[in-house]
A = this chain, B = another copy of it.
């Protein structure tokens, strides 16, 4: 497949796209970003890569890191993990607290905030130095030891973290939280603050397109079965209440973040990262989804 040619064609198409999205502003650090930024980076499991525009600029990956913490926790905890968090889509967003109440403190999946907080709790129970150990895991799978947290963003998130504080306290009432709440939330807010370029993001997720094996080091990060299951969870739960729409339009497992990043996986083929800060009403990068829809249409290939 000539990805370069397809990128070029989609880039032309997308030039006419009128983006009615808006940049996330709940913390100033996100609101200050240049809304016109746009970058794409694709890496194949064979080592090819293609890029577009601002592919080499750092942005806040935000919720995308929830997949990485899930991968580490699933490897450490195994199938016991699913007693603490489900694998089902979450339905409408405003339901989160309602469903948590209804499901007795078990979040519906590990990619919504409540589920990611439980995953942090699990990691703290396993790791000696959670923040440091997690970063080392990211370095291992990405082959890039420069990736790190943004202390500024983590602190800013913490100051606005009332809803997440509500979630963790609420789950504690159902005894689905083991460790100290402050430690969990510090870890959680740091995870969300990780910054990557499209290139780094694409490479970091490539092991999920490669049966769980890091394509750079050849290290087996996850079993093939666990790798598939994470992809399945991304497919069903990666875009909040727009998971169906993304699957319908793009046809690939993926994950978005409010920083405007999206990463998607074509199993056994490639990992692609897109970045455009303006978000649609459901909190996902509007131009990012538009690009990916045209891209999979042009490649004539989706998993379905």
Chain A positions within 8 Å of B, measured between CB atoms, are: 86-92, 94-95, 97-99, 101-103, 108-109, 162-163, 165-167, 169-170, 172-173, 224-225, 227-229, 231-233, 235-237, 241-245, 247-248, 251, 253, 267, 297, 300, 302-304
Contact = CB atoms under 8 A, between A and B. Distances in A.
Copies of this chain, complex-wide, total: 4
Given A94-B101, A162-B173, A169-B163, A244 B236 contact: yes
Contacts of A109: 244
A302 B228 contact: yes
Nearest to A231: B304
Contacts of A228: 251, 302, 304
Main SS of the interface on chain A?
A: helix
6 contacts: A87-B247, A91-B99, A109-B244, A165-B169, A228-B251, A232-B248
Contacts of A98: 97-98, 101
Which A-B residue pairs are the 5 nearest by beta carbons? A91-B91, A89-B89, A88-B244, A231-B304, A166-B170
B170 A304 contact: no
Contacts of A90: 91
Given A87-B248, A88-B243, A91-B89, A304 B267 contact: yes
